[in-house]
Amino acid sequence: MSKKVFAVIGTGAIGGYYGARLHHGGNDVHFLFNSDYQHVIANGLNVNSHYGDYSISAPDLKAYHSTSDMPKADVVLVALKTTQNHLLESLLRPLLKTNTLVMLLQNGIGAEQEVAEQFHLPFVGGGLCFICSNKLGPGHIDHIDYGRITIGIYGDAGIAALEDFATDLTQSGVEVDVDQHIIDARWKKLLWNVPFNGLSTVLNADTAEMMSCEELVNLSKEIMIEVQQAARTTNTDITDTLIETMLLNTAKMKPYLTSMLLDRRNHRELEIQYMYKNAIDLAKAQGVAMPKTQALYEQLCFINNQIKSVK
């Protein structure tokens, strides 16, 4: 029986880490690179991890500059920012075959349904990555902490493929939770992302600095409660205990620069559509207001407009 073929679109802090883990688990993994391509074909992919390094030497790295040169895949990990989802038509289509599992390792809510409809797929997976990982330079990823992933599926026909992928991750040393209904998993990830990505970006502060301010911790909790109330409109139950646990874990976390703050500092467009606007709109449609989240979103819009005006 031939090996399952994996493709990684977006070999950065997330795609590079999980792709390298799958590679070291004995899987056939093919990586798409953009600006890093020339560097990695000479130097390989280097992943420094607090679990131990998961680097791939240049001779062993299956690196590509175009998905049209890659083999069709059984599983495609999409680790692009949601701001680049308009590129999926050209990037994803060459990789698809019957029953390919597309797994969106992205933030926010609503993308699985969009991709399923765009490509006429019976199911699309989503992955929520609970990880502190940054890209330090070309082909160089620094995995600081955590690494657990929660996966779910949009479309019940994909449950078997989802469970099979969970086994692949587990055998590669990745801690996996399977939450079959992806909408539940996405709300739970938004519970952390909405306050901490947004506030860190507005304030230009890391998580340790944020958690050292009692007033800011209280504001973060109030925003989390708004997300909790919004989630309940889609029958997703988020407990008060989960909110307290996330706050406690954030306080214990090593100082961490959120992905959105790094985007701001590197003058990259912010992921506010899927992480904020979609969530606010879903809640509003059910009569639930998110005033603090709305105010945070509007401040992020200002920052985002500044970034785009410079480009």
CATH of 185-310, one of 1.10.1040.10, 3.30.465.10, 3.50.50.60, 1.10.340.70: 1.10.1040.10
pLDDT at 311: 64
What is the mean pLDDT for each group of 10 consecutive residues in the chain (311 residues)?
Answer: 88 96 97 96 96 93 98 98 95 96 94 95 94 91 90 93 97 92 88 97 97 98 98 94 96 90 94 96 96 98 94 64
5-174 folds as Rossmann fold (3.40.50)
pLDDT at 67: 98
The HSE-up count of residue 70 (CA atoms within 13 Å, CB side) is 31
pLDDT at 132: 82
Tell me whether domains 5-174 and 185-310 share a fold. Answer: no
User: At 119, is the secondary structure helix, strand, or coil?
Assistant: helix
What does the DSSP assignment read for 163-219?
Answer: HHHHHHHHHTT--EEEEEEHHHHHHHHHHHHHHHHHHHHHHT--HHHHHT-HHHHHH
Q: Output the CA–CA distances (angstroms, integers) from residue 72 to 6, 36, 54, 57, in the order listed.
A: 9, 22, 25, 23
Classify each residue of 27-66 as buried b or exposed e, where b means 16 or more C-beta atoms within 10 Å of its C-beta: bbbbbbbeebbebbbebbbbbebeeeebbbeeeebbbbee
| Domain range summary for the chain, segments of one domain joined by + | 5-174, 185-310
CB 250 within 8 A of CB 192: yes
CB 138 within 8 A of CB 122: no
pLDDT at 259: 87
pLDDT tens per residue, range 241-292: 999 999 999 999 889 889 899 999 999 999 999 999 999 999 999 999 999 9
User: At 116, is the secondary structure helix, strand, or coil?
Assistant: helix
- Which residues are known to be catalytic? 189
